[in-house]
């Protein structure tokens, strides 16, 4: 039993996928809730309705467990239905952006693969799962340009493993076959970054662009996209000459704010350098002028970086706009996140240690920093060794 919310005539409807004499049909149920301001109520009503229908199905069905004669529930529950039922379990356990990534991966990669096959939970053997992962690794990208990376495949496995764990709990299968699947070894991702000359070209090209100040601050302090978007004016203390990373803005399909960074180590404070102060003061002047120009149409909020009308920048807008900015100005293509790597490279080339970089970027442990930037640190050590050799030769 699965379901979703659909909008019709500006009203939420629940669409349930129910079984009728062996066939799957859609049942539309009105919630009578207007769309505006009622999304959470509609989601809660959908979850409550699904649970009622599932309870009725369990009462009308034979005892779970199956007997291998082709008539047990494990012989009729489709694998894709199990995965979609698991969404509600995941939603209770993880944060919104993680839940949304689960759904996005499932609906983009996992469901489209298994749904045409019509496999039941019992059909999900080790061989079937291994073939799925092998095919995705070879040519599984949605754009048709190659295979899925080993790291990304591990997210696929996490979803399937948790879904099939539920099947084990419900007595549909005795063991979880996903635990026996073998994945390709993870490889160290290539780190791309700009050198000092390229950073200067980027700053020059970005002058007058809506992201100009955001880009400058990101490079100067190696901020994550979620961190720079989460900066609010109450985190900037002009008198104490500091600003603090203490909230983030993130999301896959829904944009939302968290009142805490990624990890405890991500919570960090920086001194307002002359350039940083200039960036914040410029952003404040822009905000004041835009508020005057837009008048009552201005969208009030406490974020530092936003559109001219006050609306906060969308998460994916920043990455997409940054890519277009580079293309427009003929600059080498890097991701927005690579500005963070550029900051690390600048730090290391100026004599900072890996420990310094760990603290500056807010990594949870030194091993993560070493895994990403160890090769850059090796170059720094070679330079230091050469300097010592010149001194004593």
Residue with tokens 């399937």: 160
- 306 and 212 fall within a common domain: yes
Residue finishing a domain among 41, 60, 79 = 60
Q: To which H or E segment does residue 23 belong?
A: strand 23-34
The distance of Cα 357 from the centroid of its chain, to the nearest Å, equals 24
- 212 and 156 fall within a common domain: no
- 49 and 91 fall within a common domain: no
Mean pLDDT value of segment 232-246: 93
- 161 and 257 fall within a common domain: no
- 286 and 346 fall within a common domain: yes
CB proximity list for 292: less than 8 A, separation 6 or greater: none
Residue finishing a domain among 187, 207, 235 = 187
Mean pLDDT of the chain: 84
DSSP percent split of the chain into helix, strand, coil, nearest 5: 55, 15, 30
- 136 and 203 fall within a common domain: no
Residue finishing a domain among 152, 168, 187 = 187
CATH code where residue 250 lies: 1.10.443.10
- 233 and 379 fall within a common domain: yes
Residue with tokens 């050590």: 381
Beta bridge partners of 236: 243
- 167 and 226 fall within a common domain: no
Region of residue 86 (phi > 0: left; psi between -120 and 50: alpha; otherwise: beta) = alpha
pLDDT surpasses 70 at 392:
no
- What predicted TM-score, i.e. pTM, was given to this entire model? 0.64
- 97 and 218 fall within a common domain: no
pLDDT digit string (tens) for 348-371?
888 888 888 888 888 877 776 777
- 245 and 327 fall within a common domain: yes
pLDDT digit string (tens) for 123-156?
999 999 999 999 999 988 877 778 898 988 999 9
- 309 and 245 fall within a common domain: yes
pLDDT digit string (tens) for 264-319?
556 788 999 999 999 999 999 999 999 999 999 999 999 999 999 999 998 889 99
**Measured between alpha carbons, how far is 304 from 285 in angstroms, rounded to an integer?**
11
CATH code where residue 81 lies: 1.10.150.130
pLDDT at 257: 54
Task: Tally the domains of the chain.
Answer: 3
Domain with 3, as residue range(s), is 1-60
- 210 and 160 fall within a common domain: no
**Measured between alpha carbons, how far is 382 from 376 in angstroms, rounded to an integer?**
10
């Amino acid at each position: 039993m699965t379901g979703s919310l659909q909008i019709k005539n500006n009203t939420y409807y629940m669409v349930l996928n129910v079984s009728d004499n062996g066939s799957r049909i859609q049942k539309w149920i009105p919630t009578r809730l207007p769309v505006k301001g009622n999304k959470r109520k509609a989601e809660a009503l959908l979850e409550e309705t699904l649970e009622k229908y599932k309870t009725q199905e369990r009462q009308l069905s034979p005892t779970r467990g199956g007997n291998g004669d082709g008539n047990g529930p494990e012989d009729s529950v489709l694998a894709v239905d199990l995965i979609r039922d698991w969404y509600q379990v995941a939603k209770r356990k993880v944060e919104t952006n993680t839940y949304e990534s689960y759904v996005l991966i499932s609906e983009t990669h996992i469901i489209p693969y298994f749904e045409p096959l019509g496999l039941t939970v019992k059909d999900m053997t080790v061989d079937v799962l291994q073939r799925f992962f092998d095919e995705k690794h070879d040519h599984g990208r949605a754009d048709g340009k190659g295979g899925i990376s080993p790291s990304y495949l591990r997210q696929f496995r996490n979803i399937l493993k948790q879904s099939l764990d539920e099947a084990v709990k419900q007595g549909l299968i005795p063991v979880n076959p996903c635990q026996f699947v073998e994945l390709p070894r993870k490889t160290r991702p290539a780190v791309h970054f700009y050198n000092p000359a390229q950073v200067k070209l980027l700053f020059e090209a970005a002058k007058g662009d809506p992201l100009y100040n955001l880009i400058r601050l990101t490079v100067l302090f190696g901020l994550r996209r979620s961190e720079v978007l989460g900066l609010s004016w109450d985190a900037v203390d002009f008198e104490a000459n500091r600003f603090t990373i203490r909230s983030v803005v993130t999301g896959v399909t829904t944009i939302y704010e968290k009142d805490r960074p990624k990890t405890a180590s991500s919570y960090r404070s920086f001194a307002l350098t002359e350039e940083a102060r200039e960036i914040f003061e410029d952003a404040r002047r822009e905000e004041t002028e835009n508020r005057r120009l837009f008048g009552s149409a201005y969208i009030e909020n406490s974020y530092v970086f936003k559109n001219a009308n006050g609306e906060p920048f969308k998460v994916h807008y920043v990455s997409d706009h940054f890519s277009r900015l580079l293309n427009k100005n003929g600059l080498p293509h890097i991701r927005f996140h690579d500005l963070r790597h550029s900051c690390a490279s600048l730090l290391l080339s100026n004599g900072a240690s890996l420990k310094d970089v760990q603290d500056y970027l807010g990594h949870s442990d030194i091993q993560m920093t070493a895994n990403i930037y160890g090769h850059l640190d090796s170059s720094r050590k070679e330079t230091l060794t050469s300097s010592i050799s010149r001194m004593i030769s």
